[in-house]
């Protein structure tokens, strides 16, 4: 069920206020904000599949060492897939200053959209 226009405006206003007033909270909670590194995702998925195959092969041939190596490959692949994207690393390394430098663009865009909306509403009312 889509939101009404009034609810959308309220949601946008709350989001704008959150970005303006609680910059540190947003930077902490935001998690992954960059693009994922698709090369790492593919390599991680391939490692995980190879790890599962090695684990199953270790069980079939009854060699615990092969199973342990398979488990290690599987774990490493999953960790590669779940590693943070490029933007999250920059935010963690640069602190909240990186997040703050990106925020004004979004805030000004939101402000512009809000102003356009208000102008439209004023034109309709007249």
Establish if 20 belongs to a structural domain.
Answer: no
For residues 50 and 113, give the distance between their C-alpha atoms in angstroms, rounded to a whole number: 49
Q: Yes or no: say if 17 and 111 are a contact pair by the CB < 8 Å rule.
A: no
pLDDT value at residue 26? 64
46 domain residue, yes or no: yes
Number of structural domains the chain divides into: 1
Give yes or no for a contact between 11 and 117, defined as CB atoms under 8 angstroms apart: no
In a domain, 98, yes or no: no
Host domain of residue 76: 36-86
Distance of CA 65 to CAs 44, 57, 68, 71, Å?
21, 11, 5, 10
CA distance 64 to 115: 66
Q: Does the residue 44 lie in any domain? A: yes
Residue 112 lies in a domain: no
Specify if 71 maps to a domain: yes
Tell me if 87 sits within 8 A of 32, measured CB to CB.
yes
8 A C-beta contact, residue 79 and residue 40: no
The rounded distance, in Å, linking the Cα atoms of 38 and 80 is 10
- Global pTM value: 0.45
pLDDT tens, N- to C-terminus, the chain (126 residues): 787 888 888 888 888 877 777 766 666 666 555 677 888 889 999 999 999 999 999 999 999 999 999 999 999 999 988 887 655 544 444 444 444 444 444 567 778 888 888 888 888 776
User: What residues contact 28, with CB distance under 8 A and at least 6 apart?
Assistant: none
């Amino acid at each position: 069920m889509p939101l009404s226009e009034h609810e959308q405006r309220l949601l946008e206003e709350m989001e704008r206020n959150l970005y303006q007033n609680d910059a540190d909270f947003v930077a902490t909670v935001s998690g992954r904000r960059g693009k994922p590194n698709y090369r790492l995702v593919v390599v991680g998925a391939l490692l995980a599949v190879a790890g599962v195959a090695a684990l199953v092969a270790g069980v079939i041939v009854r060699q615990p060492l092969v199973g342990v190596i398979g488990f290690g490959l599987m774990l490493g692949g999953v960790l590669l897939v779940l590693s943070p994207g490029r933007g999250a690393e920059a935010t963690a390394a640069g602190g909240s200053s990186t997040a703050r430098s990106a925020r004004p663009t979004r805030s000004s865009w939101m402000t512009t959209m809000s102003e356009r909306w208000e102008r439209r509403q004023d034109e309709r009312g007249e």
